Amino acid sequence: MANYASHQSENQEGSISVEAVGDFIEFPSGMIAGMMLADGNIDIQIGEGNSSLAIAYMSVLNRKVLGKDNLTTPEGTFKGYKISFDYLFDMGIIKVIGSGIEWYWNNKNREL
């Protein structure tokens, strides 16, 4: 199925347009432990104009600042914010619900 779009005959013209439209997920300055952050959504659409079709939808929910934390990688240790979140990915009959932890580091301000 991955190569379906590439098997067109030589005299066929056209392309598949895929577009992701959604919210800008913010990490405001001055975050503190326990602070709830805004949710975000994204729609993935295939096609153009009136003939577009939403093929997937993702929501990032319940974003919460857990606090300041260090993240150590092979590149070094970074001071940042530890943030928890839940997500819902919906692709018709396929639905995935989960949760995760992310670290946010603002490289403009080395000290938090």
**Close Cβ partners of 49 (under 8 Å, ≥ 6 residues apart):** none
pLDDT of 21 reads: 84
pLDDT string in tens for the chain (112-residue length): 333 344 444 544 567 788 888 888 888 888 999 999 999 999 888 887 677 777 899 999 999 999 998 888 898 888 889 999 999 999 889 999 999 999 988 766 555 5
Given a contact cutoff of 8 angstroms between Cβ atoms, the answer to whether 112 and 104 are in contact is: no
Whole-model pTM? 0.70
**Domains located in the chain, CATH noted:** 15-104 (2.40.360.20)
Q: What angle do CA 30, 34, 37 make, to 5 degrees?
A: 65
pLDDT of 58 reads: 92
Given a contact cutoff of 8 angstroms between Cβ atoms, the answer to whether 35 and 46 are in contact is: no
Q: Are strands 18-22 and 53-73 parallel, antiparallel or unpaired?
A: unpaired
